[in-house]
Structure 1
Amino acid sequence: MMTKRKYFAAIISACICIGAGSILSVKVNSASTTPGTTDDPVVTKSYVDQQIQKALGGGATNPTPTPSTPEQNSNEVKNVSLKPGQILVADAGTEFIVRSGHAVIYTEDSNGVADLTAGVDLLNGQAAPKNHLLSFPRDGRGIQVKPGQTSGLIVMVRGGYTVK
């Protein structure tokens, strides 16, 4: 009978030792990792951008080019007024939103302009809907006042453009 008690006590004490050891081990491991060290690094976006530029061979610290004129700042939204007969031609990646007036798509090739709001491709001469986000994937595409209209357009523009 005595051997059963000793056996049971030995099992209980072993379980207690194993449990206490795992708790202390977790506390010691978590205390040894300090944020910002090699065990737990903190990386910023600018650091990642610099490393990507170095890997691509351009040692520039600023990966985004600065625009030549304030009107061409890709983050700035400008309100542009067009008169009948004028064409607003976008640079690649520019976005337009027609706010007032009647506009049609202008392209010199068979490809069109992406209407991101409706999820369709608008071809040369098609109406550009108001309050739809239009994306211009290449240079040389734009919008103009619908032929026959006497009033102009007001267009919100994000990105580079020229008025012809």
Structure 2
Amino acid sequence: MNRYTKTFGILVAAAVVAGGVNWYQSAYADVQQTTPGLADDPIVTKSYVDQKIADLKNGGNAGEGTQTPESASKLEVVTVPFGAKLMVSAGGEIVVRTGKAVAYSSDTNGLSDLTAGADIASGSPIATNHLILFPRDGRGIEPDPKQKNGLTVLVRGFYKLQ
């Protein structure tokens, strides 16, 4: 083997090794190695994790009686006692099953009665077995003040009793 062929072979081998190292570094460049306990990888306590899980199960509002995110898409039977309001989040739906209900709204707009294709103003009665949509937050239903009984409703979405 002559001197030029040997030099050329060494240069090709060095180029291949350098290219492989460069490829390896670029392929794994976005893998960050952090030290536990720093701002990028904090150490948390079990009680902190338990609290965050409880908050998620309560829809982010611990102890307010809201549905969990897993059950927000299911219909849930809810009893609304006399004197209480059932406040439903935007996009929620209800069906009044028993009792006489009236609409409640914190502004001038009301609820959408999807069964009748009508708007229900605040203080107006809600028909039983009609699908009612809550287009915004700050709206709900309450038992009719002329009766002394509560309501039984089906609710889909996040809600709370006040």
Pairwise TM-score range, normalised by the shorter structure? 0.5 to 0.7
Q: Which amino acid aligns with 1:130?
A: T
**Structure 1 residue ranges without an equivalent (≥5):** 1-66
Q: 1:130 maps to which residue? A: 128
Deviation at 1:68, TM superposition (A): 2.5
1:79 paired with 2:105, answer no
Q: 1:128, 1:122 → 2: CA distance? A: 7
Offset at residue 75 of structure 1 (A):
1.2
Matching residue of 1:60: none
Residue 144 of structure 2: aligned partner: 146
RMSD of aligned alpha carbons: 1.4
3-state DSSP class of the match of 2:115? coil
Number of residue pairs aligned between Structure 1 and Structure 2: 98
Equivalent residue, structure 2, for 1:107: 105
What letter corresponds to residue 126 of structure 2 in structure 1? Answer: A
Cα distance in 1 between the residues matched to 2:124 and 2:101: 9
In the TM superposition, what is the alpha-carbon distance from 1:149 to its structure 2 partner? 1.1
Counterpart CA distance in 1 for 2:111 and 2:156 is 15
Partner amino acid for 1:156? Answer: L
CA positional deviation for 1:69: 2.6
Q: Which of residues 56, 60, 77 in structure 2 aligns to 1:68?
A: 56
Query: After TM superposition, which residue ranges in structure 1, 4 or more long, deviate above 2 angstroms?
Result: 67-70
Residue 32 of structure 1 aligns with which residue?
Answer: none
The alignment's TM-score, normalised by the length of structure 1, stands at 0.57
Looking at structure 2, the residues matched to 143 and 92 of structure 1 have their Cα atoms a distance apart, in angstroms, of 13
Residue 74 of structure 1 deviates from its aligned partner by 2.6
Q: What percent identity do the matched residue pairs reach?
A: 43
Unpaired runs of at least 5, structure 2:
1-54, 59-66
